[in-house]
Structure 1
């Protein structure tokens, strides 16, 4: 049986018991969302739509304001539909200890930063349970947000409709950047709740370490951990062959500090969604208004540049570091993001850069004075550090699901191609 589907009934039983014990609900219709029982890849979360035969009464919300969990709102009167998110304990690279706490705390921060949007675009949380031991299952019960996925319609929209969506994305990003973080958040990384319910710094969910005093420290730690993981990989073997490992260690030691000297705003920190894509945006097709920004699983507190390194695929493109295999138009797009777009845009290509969309995205960011690659001096240096990080643990040679689906010959080919690219990247960086 597929690994995702193995505990399918157990998850349904968990939800029914939770609704009964926590919210006094005896009957509920539970439907999976975006769930493929045959998917060969492990889901990070299992998401369900909960439909009740009647709204829960106020008495069934058994928490007063004084005893309510931090980051939660009371069950709304009249609501019969909700979203339940269950963490997958087998998801690779996701660390259980503060995973739920981080997501709920970031949702609280995002809701505060985007409070000016009407109607609200951040889902309310009505209850949650930690995924940290001794718990066997993390969960979040939250608001069912209206709207359809932007990703399903964006490519087919006329440019004017795309501009409307991109303008709203820019407004959301601006609000996240401008939000004054609580003084209790002192470091970069994840967040959690302390004993008094304050949001404080903690380890980062997708890393399992931190928090860090400096943005630079985040990358140094990630690189060092990646090298440790590479040591245990059967195919990579720590990149010790051909002298690559010594070059990587030299880069971590002296290259990273040198790269970050160029980042003038290195002390800035902000809410970073880290998966801010059309897949995680909902909208109302009749009004062309964004109705929700969802899925804060990877969200964290980092430098504003990090959002551009991880988000915006399908809406102007991520900002990526140097690569010898990227197309010339990708290089031209990165240069345009840093130096300005040409007065006459190149033609769009079928599977390549959509120049008109990228220019509209840049114009909307500029209109609102959003921090973006052109205004974040030194972002290209940070992106190159990130490119090294991505190259140390290439997905096709390290992910257990991918490895299971590939032949030994294909894996070795991927490994060797990646080493060649890594060597060229180190050459480019002077290491």
Structure 2
């Protein structure tokens, strides 16, 4: 799948670097690439070794800077049109969000984390691409596993500091709505569609979650197992809930401030300097958008545990309640749940806006879980559909249906 057009992509990279940037390149190497991976990559990444810089007169684009004369290595990202992400403002959103994150961290000791952008091309009218700074470091998820237990909290505290800077950042006046960002004709950042939905921008959280729900319903139409949830009138109930029931759940969430949301803030997207044990980069802004501080906890930190679902039991239910309502002295966890608790202790230390401090967070977390269940990955993606028997898929569908009906009945639909 991913190896199709491999040579064609390399030819595009060589041509782009030579013609657009007048760079003499000694080597181009794929990053984190597996030709046999059964899942489509969102982007193809290349490490570019630069031998010589030529003189070029390329106009500087919005939110970009000039390549330093001593830059010996760069990174080029190519958008993968087969990933399923809509091309509309996809590159523009990533470039713009990187700029907002860079501004958010500018006055902190993490000002160096966000790669500089040296040029970009829209995916809407052809091959999308971003040429950016190469950051030194190793993936934090790999390094974290090698650390002694007593050194791990310090890493989590650095992540907490970054998150707090994101939450405190005041958005430019030109970005007035929820969703993604794009560029006006004069090059200023403005509100734009949410790239994962190709919809928006949105005036309210109700509009945002209606778009999310509708996308999931549309995805369920394409599943041979779900068939759009036409059975037993579920489809009609979903649509009625979207029109009449969503506002009751999102109204408490509307009091949350707007914030930049990375939407994939995990250790895998963080680099660290092994010698200093300091974070050296935050990467991958493909899904970033303007939302609420609470949205980050619904979409990120899964390697730390995330927020357990509303159908959790036992210790997971206990920690879900602690996350949503606050940790107390009676909350002591071990193993993976202990790591999750350590993460929240780091957040509390830096006065982060955690879920327990955000109005309507419990209701919105239930809604988010419900929407994801409308078209779960196991029942919509080709790979799990091929690898599981009909009996297995029917069992997953039955459990999913039970979850959907319980939520709809709880809210009077």
2:278 counterpart of 1:271: no
Contact 1:42/1:401 (<8 A) preserved = no
Contact 1:397/1:411 (<8 A) preserved = yes
In 1, the alpha carbon distance for the partners of 2:111 and 2:46 equals 23
Contact 1:121/1:291 (<8 A) preserved = yes
1:365/1:346 Cα in 2 relative to 1: closer, same or farther (>3 Å)?
closer
1:292/1:416 Cα in 2 relative to 1: closer, same or farther (>3 Å)?
same
Select the residue among 41, 45, 57 that pairs with 1:43.
41
Per the alignment, in what secondary structure is the counterpart of residue 6 of structure 1? coil
In 2, the alpha carbon distance for the partners of 1:269 and 1:231 equals 33
Partner of 1:339: 325
2:131 counterpart of 1:121: no
- Deviation digits for residues 140-166 of structure 1 (CA, Å, limit 9, x no counterpart): 110111111110122342333221111
Select the residue among 241, 245, 257 that pairs with 2:235.
245
Partner of 1:313: 302
Partner of 2:79: 87
Matches within 5 A, 1:246-395: 246-263=236-253, 265-266=255-256, 268-315=257-304, 317-323=305-311, 326-349=312-335, 353-355=336-338, 357-395=339-377
Structure 2 residues not aligned, in runs of 5+: none
Structure 1 residues not aligned, in runs of 5+: none
- Deviation digits for residues 173-214 of structure 1 (CA, Å, limit 9, x no counterpart): 111111111111111111011111110011111101111001
In 2, the alpha carbon distance for the partners of 1:129 and 1:285 equals 34
Select the residue among 136, 148, 167 that pairs with 1:177.
167
In 2, the alpha carbon distance for the partners of 1:70 and 1:254 equals 41
Deviation at 1:382, TM superposition (A): 0.7
Partner of 1:220: 210
Which sits farther off after the overlay, 394-403 or 373-382? 394-403
Partner of 2:5: 7
TM-score using structure 2 length: 0.95
Matches within 5 A, 1:66-85: 67-85=59-77
- Deviation digits for residues 316-364 of structure 1 (CA, Å, limit 9, x no counterpart): x3225412xx342111111111233242444424xxx422x22322222
Deviation at 1:299, TM superposition (A): 0.5
TM-score using structure 1 length: 0.91
In 2, the alpha carbon distance for the partners of 1:69 and 1:365 equals 36
Per the alignment, in what secondary structure is the counterpart of residue 103 of structure 1? helix
Which sits farther off after the overlay, 138-147 or 152-161? 152-161
Deviation at 1:53, TM superposition (A): 2.3
Per the alignment, in what secondary structure is the counterpart of residue 272 of structure 2? strand
Deviation at 1:216, TM superposition (A): 1.9
Select the residue among 16, 19, 25 that pairs with 2:17.
19
Q: Report the number of matched residues.
A: 412
